[in-house]
Chains A and B, each alone.
Chain A
Amino acid sequence: MQDPLPPPSSSSSASPACDVITSAVHSASCLSAVDRRRTNTYTHTHTHIHTHIYLYMRPPPGAMATQELQINESLAHLKTESESLKTKLEEERAKLHDVELHQVAEKVEGLGQFVMKTRRTLKGHGNKVLCMDWCKDKRRIVSSSQDGKVIVWDAFTTNKEHAVTMPCTWVMACAYAPSGCAVACGGLDNKCSVYPLSLDKNENLAAKKKSVAMHTNYLSACSFTNSDMQILTSSGDGTCALWDVESGQLLQSFHGHAADVLCLDLAPSETGNTFVSGGCDKKANVWDMRSGQCIQSFETHESDINSVRYYPSGDAFASGSDDATCRLYDLRADREVAIYSKESIIFGVSSVDFSLSGRLLFGGYNDYTINVWDVLKGTRVSILFGHENRVSTLRVSPDGTAFCTGSWDHTLRVSSSFSFSLFSVISLSPEVLLTHCVFFFFFFLQIWA
């Protein structure tokens, strides 16, 4: 971990220069805040162990030395076994890798340069925007920020429809329910709460809050499964969990990450039973929701994985990490198949998402930009500027018409491609074309004059 951050507060953010230098803000700052709480509870639980042991008192001759020796030997044996298994696994994976993705993609037409343009700017958050999610109606979004506010917007008209203030700061996760009738959010309070959205503007949303998930560390991501009744959460305590919303009961927990889990995504598959999670241990794990088992694991990133997203067909997923790369992993080939990186990009990726066809991969970076990659060829097709601080979250709308980005500059931006192509000019009717030419003429005349 690099320089420790000041503890999170609801006051205005530190200077931009400071923000650029620090990295992996979630783990660092939250851990320090949380640990202060844990020291108090730790000593309490530790005495608990002592009392248990003191129930069994006996006279002590010594025989520990030989025992320790035995233990150390079997430990070494286990370690070598683990290493050899890992190398064998890599060899097996490499055997079936006969061609690279960009080689296969050579026969596909190149995309040319895209121009992306911001279409809507949503202002209203008082502090860093940390997370956002689209509603299934393709125009509403929910966003959460560091000052504890969760806002529901109609992004098309830019109106704010609902606002809730959470009792904690750093609301790092929020999600829209599939029905559009509720939102879930959580963060440093270690909980995930579900707020039903009512049409009555005067109703106090906070009163109807339902506490669903309970973790022992901060909540990093949450998502509804196919219905409003179940929520999948991931937490800084290294676990993911599936909860029943109505009763708050834990349905299944997923253990296997060795460090904070930072992101998760549900698979769009026919059977709908798996999800992928990425964590600070550089691993991306694919889980079976029914059994709680980790089905596949990928460890090729060089730093924390901040975001994972499935390819639209469900056969692969992309991940973005602090090592400034995005990678594509194929689930059937069981390996990484593409890396999206450039020497000029040195800042970490905070979030990734695919366009509707899966041909484009959008990445929000900590250097305030959004890079758009051609998934098949591995090249960058566009770069979008506009945010004044790091991009913290990025999601493509459910029908793929636009994508929304949230940033530490307190705003959200909805952007889409700028389609002013030659073809569209030709298709314009003659009188419109004429007026445009006249306009251009006078415009340049003014500049020259």
Chain B
Amino acid sequence: MEKVIVAMQDPDMGMKMRNQRLLITVIPHAMTGHDIITWLIQKYCISEEEALHLGNLLVKYGYIYPLKEPRSLVLRRDESPYRFQTPYFWTSTQWPATELDYAIYLAKKNIRKQGELMEYEKERYSLLHKRINHTWDFVVMQAREQLRASKQRRKADRIVLECQEQAYWLINRPAIEACQRALGRNRVKSSNCLEGFLKHSEQYQNHDPIMQGCLPSNPWISDDAAHWTMNADVVPVPTRLRVERWSFSFMELLSDTMGRKEFMTYLEKEFSAENLCFWQACEEIRHGENSRISEKVNEIYKNFLAPGAARWVNIDSKTMYKTLEGIKRPHRFVMDDAQMHIYFLMKKDSYPRYLKSDLYKNMLAKAIVPQETKKSVFPFMRRQRHSSPSPAQLL
């Protein structure tokens, strides 16, 4: 967005700024809404509707602010005057609208128009007063300083500065849009959601070591790390509980290294292993280094998406088109749609068949159920382990 603004302000090719009249005050370096739209249409060869939309966005994000009705962040196609926001106030400079600054702004308003703060501003003011009480002197001092400095400035500047500040605070106030969005959301009935918690707790109850204990024994209680060695990432024979967990959800299967390997073996038998490979490659893009994104995207295209690729994945034409378009400008999430499609394909189709397959059933039968180690020492006798209280060695 800033490129557009900078282009607009270019003295040669940019907008022609004139002195606009705001009621009686003449504001320098302002432009009319109409001019903005015309300029946008000319420069970017877009339609009037698009120019209006773009202009509106510029105003909404605070790069241009209206002088006539500073509260209404809308671009009007008429003679109403607008001005460029100083780069200081640009949202992209990420100058955070801290409480302190807001407090100073409110204090200034309070001092200037003795008690003219709106109700909600009064609330905020007292809230802030409570919160940052210890720096309140600083706040009031700053407010007074700013007011004194502004009194010395001329009227036009003051209007401009006020409008700037107001526009800025408007953007940073908690958005009404968020509330409206929340209203439009689909909600699920409580009874359905809460049943979900019951089911989850029941399903995982036997797998919860703190509640049910674990086999052969909880390492922290028995000082025996056998439980961890038996459940390591790669073991010749997994435990029964672990294999059972693979049937709880597709995510459980994929997040277990061994589970994923088994599933891959199954898919190879079904000649659909490229789906899982594709999914894994997409995960690497999403969570990998920024610098290697385009390189990885190209690899994926070559191996999975190009026509006639060695391991071509079957995605619907719409998603394929969208992904291929996105590949021209690769970014971290360019593969998201395709990845989702393949994930749900595997979840709905291959995963249930895997759970019914012989491969899984054999694994379940082979799986070991460790013996619970008999407690050889009376529990009260076992001493607690303490670390040496010596301070850590500096490295």
Contacts and interface: CB of A to CB of B under 8 A. Distances in A.
Interface in A309-346: 311-313, 315-316, 330, 332-335, 337
A251 B286 CA distance: 12
B374 A428 contact: yes
A22 interface: no
Nearest to A396: B210
B211 A359 contact: yes
10 A-B pairs with the lowest CB-CB distances in the bound complex, closest first: A60-B155, A158-B387, A357-B204, A227-B287, A357-B208, A163-B392, A58-B156, A74-B71, A332-B188, A123-B389
B353 interface: no
Interface stretch (B2-10, B50-58, B92-100): B92-100
Nearest to A241: B94
B331 to A, nearest CB: 10
A120 B385 contact: yes
A144 B187 CA distance: 40
Given A49-B88, A270-B250, A296 B182 contact: yes
B294 to A, nearest CB: 14
B65 to A, nearest CB: 13
A56 B160 contact: yes
Contacts of B286: 226, 272
Interface in B76-100: 86, 88, 94, 96, 98-100
B204 A160 contact: no
A66 B201 CA distance: 63
Nearest to A111: B211
B291 to A, nearest CB: 6
Contacts of B227: 401
Given A164-B395, A401-B214, A85 B176 contact: yes
A184 B390 CA distance: 24
B96 A121 contact: no
Contacts, number: 363
A68 to B, nearest CB: 8
Contact of B156 (A49, A60, A76, A424): A60
A16 interface: no
Contact of B71 (A75, A139, A239): A75
A403 B149 CA distance: 58
A356 B159 CA distance: 60
Contact of A402 (B135, B155, B185, B218): B218
Interface of B: 19, 22-29, 69-72, 86, 88, 94, 96, 98-100, 113, 116, 118-120, 130-135, 138, 142, 146, 149, 153-161, 166, 174, 176, 178-180, 182-183, 185, 187-198, 200-205, 207-211, 213-214, 218-221, 225, 227-228, 231, 250-251, 283, 286-291, 332-333, 336, 340, 343, 372, 374-376, 378-379, 384-395
A201 interface: yes
Given A42-B142, A53-B157, A290-B333, A399 B183 contact: no
Contacts of B196: 313, 315
Contact of A85 (B166, B179, B376, B384): B179
Contact of B26 (A32, A58, A122, A126): A58
B98 A98 contact: no
A58 B100 CA distance: 31
B191 A230 contact: no
Contacts of A101: 194, 197
A44 interface: no
Nearest to B390: A124
A159 B207 CA distance: 29
A75 B118 contact: yes
B125 to A, nearest CB: 14
Contacts of A335: 187, 190
Interface stretch (A168-176, A387-395, A411-419): A411-419
A59 B387 contact: no
Interface string A140-184: 000000000101010010111011110000000000000000000
Contacts of B155: 60-62, 64
A99 B220 CA distance: 40
B209 to A, nearest CB: 4
A290 B336 CA distance: 10
Given A104-B191, A432-B375, 14 more contacts: A1-B131, A31-B134, A53-B161, A66-B23, A74-B71, A74-B72, A78-B176, A88-B183, A107-B198, A123-B386, A225-B287, A255-B96, A358-B204, A376-B197
Contacts of B146: 46
Contacts of B99: 238, 258-259
Contact of A35 (B88, B120, B135): B135
A259 B190 contact: no
A302 interface: no
